[in-house]
Amino acid sequence: MTSIPSRADAVIVGAGIAGLCTALPLAKAGRTVVVLDRGAAWGDASGANAGTLSLQVKRPEVLHVTRRAIELWQAMRAELGADVGFAKPGGLRVATSEKELGMLRGSMAVQASLGLETEWLEGNRLRDAAPWLGPSVRAATWCDWDALSSPLLAGRALLAAARRRGVTVQDQAEVTAIAALDRGYRVTTAAGTVDCAQLVIAAGAWTGKVAALLGVDLPVDADVNMLSVTEPAPPLLDKVVTHMGGVLSLKQYPNGTVMIGGGWQGRGSHQSMRRETDHLNLLHNMRVACAIVPALKDLRLVRSWAGFEGVASDALPLLGALPGRPGAFVNACARGGYSQGPALGEQMAELMLTGRTSLDVARFDPARFAAAGAHA
């Protein structure tokens, strides 16, 4: 087991996409960094998600962040010197009912007002672009920004790059206490104690629990998202597919496997540490998938699983300094945090290094909750 240094410039709690993408630019700037994880690094939400990097499904408030993140994902292979399974085939956001058609047109208009141009496809144009779609699909918007990556490959690459940069990544190091020092914090864990000048909470679903050790209340809950993967198959779909109703994500990887997600909820909670698939919801997920891409009916599922995703009460990221806690920050709970992770990590590191960010992230300031919830 790697020993924790007694001192570091920065301690980051959470070794998922948020924590590692914060650690790398800090280390690149010459800071000593320790990343702690309560379990296995990359073992919770980051390692148990669908890998969809879809821009057009994101809320208007995070479009600029997601766009920047996709740019960083695209550059990641060269930056890290390792494959992260990135591809940018573009994506279709489909509608299957009159209500969804109206919602899709409304979303398209909002996105256009924010500088994201998508293309409306229906009739022969839709069938020519995606002949593999089922007859229930009435229209779709096309976005050439929509992309994908492999969480398995990305986790390996980010962890290896962090360690090459001198970052200490410590597994099985749940934080049990945080004490304020004259300048910084003393972080006590199951694997040892480390003092730091700056502290970042990037603990996903456990962010609220860690913040409470600093006397700050953050309204954080967790989704228990389910995912499934099929056996390898010949090429079936050549684009990322999402659903206007928010009940489906589909993509086929180069090895032929198809990843099926869509936010269908499993059972359990992060408080109980229980996460398991809900068979009825899983069945609904598969029915929707097969209606959208009928060729999926001929494939066998290899595995289905559930993973936690931390979510703030307004479903927007928590990114910024913790009020009244000098040198303490939070970078967590972005719905779709895997896709936004590189950009949110970049902004977090900029804030810690310079006191400013290159993107407008004021809307995500944890003070929107913590100012009222902080206590001594």
Instruction: Convert the pLDDT of each residue in 4-48 to its tens digit.
Output: 999 999 999 999 999 999 999 999 999 999 999 999 999 887 877
**Distance between CA atoms of residues 142 and 122, nearest Å:** 11
For the segment 241-248, the average pLDDT, to the nearest whole number, is 92
Q: What pLDDT score was predicted for residue 201?
A: 98
Higher pLDDT, 132 or 223: 132
Q: What one-letter code names the amino acid at 264? A: W
Cβ pair 66, 340 in contact under 8 A: yes
Fold exhibited by the domain 7-47+152-219+314-373 = FAD/NAD(P)-binding domain (3.50.50)
Q: 91-143+221-312 belongs to which CATH class?
A: alpha beta
Q: What pLDDT score was predicted for residue 356?
A: 98
User: Which H or E run contains 13?
Assistant: strand 7-13
For residue 375, name the pLDDT band (cuts at 50, 70, 90). very low
Q: What one-letter code names the amino acid at 370? A: A
Asked whether this chain's domains 7-47+152-219+314-373 and 91-143+221-312 adopt the same fold, the reply is no
Q: What pLDDT score was predicted for residue 49?
A: 82
Instruction: Convert the pLDDT of each residue in 148-206 to its tens digit.
Output: 999 999 999 999 999 999 999 999 999 999 999 999 999 999 999 999 999 999 999 99
Q: What pLDDT score was predicted for residue 370?
A: 67
Q: What pLDDT score was predicted for residue 222?
A: 87
For residue 275, name the pLDDT band (cuts at 50, 70, 90). confident
Phi-psi region of 138 (alpha: psi -120 to 50; beta: other; left: phi over 0): alpha
Domain edges within the chain? 7-47+152-219+314-373, 91-143+221-312
Q: What pLDDT score was predicted for residue 2?
A: 58
Task: Kindly report the pTM of this predicted structure.
Answer: 0.94
Give the whole-number percent of the chain exceeding pLDDT 70.
98
Instruction: Convert the pLDDT of each residue in 39-88 to its tens digit.
Output: 999 988 787 788 999 999 999 999 999 999 999 999 999 999 999 999 99
**Distance between CA atoms of residues 55 and 78, nearest Å:** 22
β-partners of residue 332 are 318
Average pLDDT, the chain: 94
Q: What pLDDT score was predicted for residue 48?
A: 77
Residue 118, token pair as written in the block: 């998508």
